[in-house]
Amino acid sequence: MYPLKFENLYYEKIWGGRDLKIFRDNLPEGSIGESWDIACHPHGTGKVINGEFKGMAFDKLIEIKGDEVLGTKISKERFPLLVKLINAKDKLSVQVHPEDEYANRVEGELGKTEVWYVVEAFEGANLVVGTKDCSKEQFEEAIKTGDFDRYLNKINVKKGDVYFVKSGLVHAIGEGVIIAEIQQNSDTTYRVYDYNRGRELHIDKALDVIDFNLKGEKSLGIKTEKEGYTKTYYCLCEHFSLEGYEIENCVKEHSDEERFFIFTCVEGKGEIVYKNGIEKINKGDSILVPAALGEYEIKGKLKLLKSYVPDMVKVEREILNIIEK
């Protein structure tokens, strides 16, 4: 196996823009809101664009090379993650996602917990993460009147900020950002308010699943210094782990036969060197490291996000080894 690159699946959105052209040269016409970069979902499945399996759909590759690609501990029935870049020139709807039990029962779909990394922040860049100072009854009444901005936790953001968005947390991506979003492989969204843009709202379902006890806070992470790079553990849950790498020259690692890794480049450029070759990685690229890859080395001056479905105990032990003295 080798590091896998997939086509960018672009989606036009009424709130989208053209800012991905900063680091992409294949942007189609229109107001592009989303680029699905590692995707294997009924609403969008990427094809491999490099190497032996070039042109093959991701679901077909999983069918024929399941354990080698995904790992022995990852279900082959449904790819667990979806990696996107989101460009918001206008604010997205105020929305919420259900957790797994509700989503499976009502939608026949996975729930959706996600994490955001701010790749670019332009003038006025902001996000809504959670509610504040309100009960369900107050929020429901405010929806009816349209006067609920005071109940939204709106924050200004800058490049490099990270926010964990658990299912049940009210949220909205504001105008002026490019976000790297790593999420459960689900496309279920309940809109609470959409600024009178005429799209369907899902207020009853949203009120079913909003958890008003959840708080939206920036993930500062746990940072560790290594030779030639730093590594920051940003968030850890049963659905995914997110780690950040700031590489000055190189980092050597080994794939895990139990699970795949995804690297998303959010600054700079470099290359992934493995036994049988080299794959370049530039800002905006996502590359899947198959479980069967073996040893690999990432060279260059760049910032990467590493996402994967974790062995929770193993990652917790890694973190404890850093902080225990």
Domain end position, chosen among 209, 236, 267: 209
Residues 17, 88, single domain; the answer is yes
pLDDT-above-90 percentage for the chain:
91
CATH of the domain at 314: 2.60.120.10
Distance CA 320, CA 325 (A): 9
Residues 199, 243, single domain; the answer is no
Distance CA 220, CA 124 (A): 22
Residues 204, 229, single domain; the answer is no
Tokens of 14: 């009424």
Residues 274, 163, single domain; the answer is no
pLDDT computed for residue 286 by the predictor: 98
Q: Does residue 237 have a pLDDT over 90?
A: yes
Beta pairing, strands 32-38 & 81-88: antiparallel
| Helix H or strand E segment including 128 | strand 126-131
- Is 191 catalytic? The answer is yes
Range with the poorest average pLDDT among 14-28, 112-126, 214-228, 256-270: 214-228
Residues 198, 170, single domain; the answer is yes
3-state secondary structure of 281: strand
Q: What domain range is 17 assigned to?
A: 4-209
Beta partners for residue 222, in sequence order: 233
Judge contact between 44 and 36, C-beta under 8 A.
yes
Residues 147, 193, single domain; the answer is yes
Q: Does some domain include residue 158?
A: yes
Distance CA 78, CA 34 (A): 21
| Helix H or strand E segment including 65 | helix 58-70
Residue 198 banded pLDDT, cuts 50, 70, 90: confident
Question: What is the rounded average pLDDT of the residues 137-147?
Answer: 88
243 burial type by CB count under 10 A (0-12 exposed, 13-18 middle, 19+ buried): buried
Residue 325 banded pLDDT, cuts 50, 70, 90: low
Domain end position, chosen among 185, 209, 233: 209
pTM: 0.96
Mean of the per-residue pLDDT values of the chain: 95
Q: Does some domain include residue 214?
A: no
Domain end position, chosen among 169, 184, 209: 209
Annotated catalytic residue: which of 191, 197, 199, 259?
191
Q: Does some domain include residue 150?
A: yes
Distance CA 124, CA 122 (A): 6
Distance CA 160, CA 124 (A): 15
- The total of structural domains in the chain comes to 2
Residues 266, 242, single domain; the answer is yes
